Structure 1
Amino acid sequence: MRKPQLSFSQIINMNVGFFGIQYSFGLQQSAVNPIYDMLGAAPDEIPILNLAGPMTGLLIQPIIGALSDSTWSPRFGRRKPFFFIGALMCSICLFFYPFSSSLWMAAGLLWVLDAANNTAMEPYRALIADVLPDEQYSKGFLTQSFFTGLGITLANVSLFVFQKYIPGIAGSLPIWVYASFFLGTICSIGSVMWSISKTPEYPPSEEELAVLKERNKGMPHPAIQFFLSILTTLFAYLVLFILMIPALFDRKIIRRTIHWAENHPTLKVIFAQNLEIIEALTQMPSVMWKLALVYLFQWYALFCYWQNAAKSIAQSVWDTSPLENKSLYEEAVGWTGLVNGWYNIVTFLSAFFLAKMATKFGPKKVHFICLIMAGVGLLIFPHIENKYLLFAPMTGFGIAWASMMGVPYLLVVNEIPKERYGVYMGIINMMIVIPMILQTLSFGFISKTFLNNDPGTAITFAGALLLIGALAVLRIKENKNITESPTAGPIGH
């Protein structure tokens, strides 16, 4: 079926829900680590406390993607039920997070919050590929970059404004933390409900419905499949890892094992969506493997920045640390929110410009240049002593952040089959979170042993990694089919 073009307003309405999801991620980037600091976390404990985000992304997004690929409800659609469930849980967690009275409580709630965010976000990537024709992919994915910038901007600006104008402490945390998280509670569910109400999904054809029916034959309810998939994920990946050795001599052994499990009724139910995920991994296009190398450096670097930005600014501008002067450190945290808010303003201002540039010059060149700008910006960042000059390197970082959230998908979307949009978008997220997991497990040691637990040096380290990531982009051969061309007119709601 030839998908008709959507109008600009329809693309905006479809992606409004991304705004609320990204507000929550913005709070995680700028508020959660300072909250850990306020609750007494040591610097080398911060990476492991951030394990929730990458682990939930690794476990949940591919499963949700595979489940949504196999789902169709005439009333609720394919992707929208997952938006709603994720956003509802996210709002509940955001409401309760400021009441954390201890480090373990804050870390535990972060696990649930990240699981909810990943449940809501993963189908959004697949929705672009489901609903938009090829020539509108760049506009669709970069619209998500726009709302990423807008959502994270509001999160960071709210931290700055509330910290300035809402003094006092309630429980273990300042009152301004409560205000920011309560605003996120409203944004998360409200924006997703707007998109759900404004965006129809195309029903599958009779042939596609027959395939879905056959795929789901003998399978339990999707909720049961989800929990079974979670329980068996690590074992399934362990089996895959073990089979990789004999696969060097017999390339078909993994496929035969998957086929055997799919034809065993009990194993098919127990492993649920993990069989689909592993099969998709074994058939992954080569461009995705090359993108994985880029992501290794890119996302390791970003996690280093987010964990150390507030402490680096406190050190270079205020000449303090969380333990030396809590009052000055709170001021540094507020300014970090403003700096991060600025780069996200740049993100949503530059998103549609990048869509045009990707169409004109290709996503490969655009992403290469953007990573260079971000890397140079982070090399400069820790040496700036004037708080107002921090906005200069963050301008380039903001343009790069817009690219990171949209352009790489243009490199792969035309290389994957449409019946696997969900699972492959989940696998792309695995490429994001695996570097984050490596960072949380390794960077505490690196920081303590080689960087002297110095936040400024950690930011410099992140800048160098981004420059290496830019070089890795040059290995990718892009699919040219992303041009905008006039076709069928927009459909109405």
Structure 2
Amino acid sequence: MATSVVAPASTREKPRLSFWQIWNMSFGFLGIQFGFALQNANVSRIFETLGGTEIALYWLAAPLTGMLVQPIIGYMSDRTWSPKWGRRRPFFLVGAILASFALLVMPNVTALWMAVGMLWIMDSSINISMEPFRALVGDLLPASQRTTGFAAQTFFIGVGAVVASSLPWMFTNWFDVPNTAPAGQIPPSVKYAFYIGGIVFFLAVLWTVLRTREYPPENLQEFEEEKRRTAGFINGVRESFAGIFHMPKTMAQLAIVQFFSWLALFSMWIYTTPAVTSHIYHTTDATSKLYNEGADWVGVCFAVYNGVSAIAALLLPAIARATSRRFTHLICLTAGGLGLISIYFISNPNMLLLSMVGVGIAWASILSVPYAMLAGALPANKMGYYMGVFNFFIVIPQVVAGLILGFFTKNVFHGESVYTLVLGGCSMIISGLLTLRVADDDKIRLPLIEDQPVDPAYNAEASPNPRV
């Protein structure tokens, strides 16, 4: 392993940041989740519209790109510094430009191979923006505010996903935009949703880029010398994959938790549309009006669970302080697992919204609590790198999902996708139980307002008008 790079603010306690500073540094996740929500709610629908049958296999494009992109971007951003643009923000901006372009192109594909290839490009671009956002919380916030920082990101993830997941339904029901199209063509409502998503993605990330400042390295000369010795794409690839064998204890324990929780999530994202349309709407014809009504309702369901997560995210820090982060994660994941399992017993589409409440509670915790536990166990000078390596345990379950869920759905469950969702619910509950064995020693029960004041210099630079 290469010698560590000197980190910013690594030898002094970071000052607490104000509400509006945390708001500004997290706002870009609103756009990032527009991209992910449109992808999660509509890509399986696009695959089926274009004649695809092996949906889980097509989704392998997304995790493979994440496995390559996130740790390398984390490694590179750890070794980046610009007095004007900082460490993480250049990657925010580049990823936003590429992802916005991909969102504009995706609904205009005309062949299955084009859709799979565009998923590859879109997911890579979103990951370029997303990974440094996780590291930014560890860079700028003291230990006592990290749960709040990740919860703020989760709030914007929820808000963005509520709107983005509902867009096709909104266009159809509010503006009479057709949600059906001839065989092999993407419905106009889906196209317009992706266009809006591309615009929002870029503008939201740009807000964070322009209104957040980062701490410089403590010793800039030493940082530059170390960067020259350790920089390079090949070195980044080598170190990124080697990092999986040199994880801190807490990270290794969380890796198993992540595997089972994300396996559940991918089963939901891949199979909710075919499960709902076949099990509740009783159709598999992707050109029929009934199928597209069911697919639109899946978008609404996804909006509901993301809306619930936005609210739940605001409560998680208080619950974690009153109990523990491990217990909080267990309760949330159990609620999500029961929510997925309950879909099997539902015949009225409206009742799916109750199932999504449980999923939303789990989603809020998955997006914040593991990262808060992880940040306290990582060396400050490798925050981005290890956050990227941690992504392996999001990617690996998606690869497993792509390889085995299709087999189980077809050969074990005889094409009944709803059983795949039940399997995902069981996986999520197992994940919650495994959380109890995670070593989490970070201080999280500190009062919300400490004796240490908000850093006035940082405040003036990061947000000249903190009320914006």
When the two structures are superposed, what TM-score results if normalisation uses the length of structure 2?
Answer: 0.91
In structure 1, give the amino acid aligned to 2:365.
Answer: S
- Counterpart residue number, 1:488: 453
Query: Residue 249 of structure 2 contacts residue 439 of structure 2 at CA under 8 Å; is this kept in 1?
Result: no
SS of equivalent to 1:322: coil
C-alpha deviation, 1:311, in angstroms: 1.7
Q: How does 1:237-386 map to 2 (within 5 A)?
A: 271-322=234-285, 326-386=288-348
- Counterpart residue number, 1:56: 65
Matched length: 440
Query: Residue 168 of structure 2 contacts residue 299 of structure 2 at CA under 8 Å; is this kept in 1?
Result: yes
Q: How does 1:10-409 map to 2 (within 5 A)?
A: 10-42=21-53, 45-164=54-173, 165-167=176-178, 169=181, 172-206=185-219, 209-217=220-228, 225=232, 229=233, 271-322=234-285, 326-409=288-371
Distance 1:483 1:322, change over 3 A: farther
Partner of residue 408 from structure 2, selected from 438, 446, 458: 446
- Counterpart residue number, 2:431: 469
In structure 1, give the amino acid aligned to 2:445.
Answer: T
Query: Which range moves more in the overlay, 170-179 or 143-152?
Result: 170-179
Distance 1:275 1:395, change over 3 A: same
In structure 2, give the amino acid aligned to 1:61.
Answer: Q
Looking at structure 2, the residues matched to 174 and 402 of structure 1 have their Cα atoms a distance apart, in angstroms, of 31
1:327-348: CA deviations, max 9, x gaps?
2110001111111111111011
Looking at structure 1, the residues matched to 73 and 439 of structure 2 have their Cα atoms a distance apart, in angstroms, of 29
Distance 1:219 1:429, change over 3 A: closer
| 1:412 lines up with 2:374 in the alignment | yes
Partner of residue 385 from structure 2, selected from 399, 416, 423: 423
Distance 1:219 1:419, change over 3 A: closer
Query: Residue 316 of structure 1 contacts residue 383 of structure 1 at CA under 8 Å; is this kept in 2?
Result: no
Query: Residue 375 of structure 1 contacts residue 465 of structure 1 at CA under 8 Å; is this kept in 2?
Result: yes
C-alpha deviation, 1:488, in angstroms: 1.9
1:372-409: CA deviations, max 9, x gaps?
11111111112211111111121111011000000111
When the two structures are superposed, what TM-score results if normalisation uses the length of structure 1?
Answer: 0.86
In structure 1, give the amino acid aligned to 2:136.
Answer: L
C-alpha deviation, 1:278, in angstroms: 4.3
SS of equivalent to 1:273: helix
SS of equivalent to 2:391: helix
C-alpha deviation, 1:216, in angstroms: 2.6
1:176-228: CA deviations, max 9, x gaps?
1111000011111100011111101111112xx234222232677xxxx4xxx
Looking at structure 2, the residues matched to 443 and 393 of structure 1 have their Cα atoms a distance apart, in angstroms, of 21
Looking at structure 1, the residues matched to 323 and 155 of structure 2 have their Cα atoms a distance apart, in angstroms, of 20
Distance 1:320 1:128, change over 3 A: same
Looking at structure 2, the residues matched to 46 and 351 of structure 1 have their Cα atoms a distance apart, in angstroms, of 31
In structure 2, list runs of 5 or more residues that go unmatched: 1-11, 464-468
Looking at structure 1, the residues matched to 353 and 148 of structure 2 have their Cα atoms a distance apart, in angstroms, of 27
C-alpha deviation, 1:71, in angstroms: 0.8
Query: Residue 131 of structure 1 contacts residue 201 of structure 1 at CA under 8 Å; is this kept in 2?
Result: yes
Looking at structure 2, the residues matched to 305 and 71 of structure 1 have their Cα atoms a distance apart, in angstroms, of 37
Query: Which range moves more in the overlay, 295-304 or 86-95?
Result: 295-304
Q: Percent identity?
A: 37
Query: Residue 405 of structure 2 contacts residue 420 of structure 2 at CA under 8 Å; is this kept in 1?
Result: no
In structure 2, give the amino acid aligned to 1:64.
Answer: I
